[in-house]
Amino acid sequence: MKVGRWPIFCLERMSRQHQALVDLVRPVVEGMGYELWGLEHGIRARRLLLRVYIERQDGITLGDCERVSHELTGVLDVEDPFRGPYDLEVSSPGLDRLLFTPEQFRRFAGHEVLVHMKVKLNGRRRISGRIEGVEAEAILLRTPDGEAFRVPPDLIERARLVPRF
């Protein structure tokens, strides 16, 4: 499946419309014993696609995704937050997980991440480096060649962990 660019919505700083969607999804996911890792949505084949990432300390199975999908479908059908048809996908964040919130960056301090920027920062739209920390207004990254970056979260289009094997 090729989707193209997806808007990533930080759970802590989103529009009222997106916050309403999180407020709808989060109680269902957390009520079932999972963490809402993040949401993505965009258009695929002229239909809205809502992708919900769930997490649990002991991992996520296909059965977990099916159960959450079933519960969310019922809530979304009743609340009807979208105009027209939509597809729902429920997924584990995976090893190369997207990072949505400053807290998630904190959890993975010391790990390598690939960040795609909305605009250039110091002449770069992509920064690959180790997460050094999180400040109130910036994610701190250090590239393999030692260059340090203070990345404002609002400039991040997409941030994904680079798995270690």
Higher pLDDT, 44 or 103: 103
Q: What is the mean pLDDT of the chain?
A: 88
Alpha-carbon distance of 17 to 21, in angstroms, equals 7
- Type of residue at 28: V
Higher pLDDT, 5 or 50: 50
Q: In this structure, what are the phi and psi dihedrals at residue 84, rounded to the nearest 5 degrees?
A: 85, -175
What average pLDDT does this structure show over 103-126?
A: 95
pLDDT in tens, 30-52: 999 999 999 987 777 778 889 99
- Type of residue at 26: R
Domains of the chain, residue spans: 16-91, 102-161
CATH topology for 102-161 is: SH3 type barrels. (2.30.30)
What average pLDDT does this structure show over 132-154?
A: 94
Question: pLDDT at position 81, please?
Answer: 86
Pairing mode, strands 139-142 and 124-134: antiparallel
Asked whether the domain spanning 102-161 has the same topology as the one spanning 16-91, the reply is no
Q: Return the CATH number of the domain spanning residue range 16-91.
A: 3.30.300.70
pLDDT in tens, 55-99: 999 999 999 999 999 999 999 999 988 878 889 999 999 999 999
Length of the chain: 165
Three-state DSSP string of the chain: CCCCCCCECCCCCCCHHHHHHHHHHHHHHHHCCCEEEEEEEEEECCEEEEEEEEECCCCCCHHHHHHHHHHHHHHHHHHCCCCCCEEEEEECCCCCCECCCHHHHHHCCCCEEEEEEEEEECCEEEEEEEEEEECCCCEEEECCCCCEEEECHHHEEEEEECCCC
- Residue for token digits 């690939």? 114
pLDDT confidence band for 14 (50 / 70 / 90): low
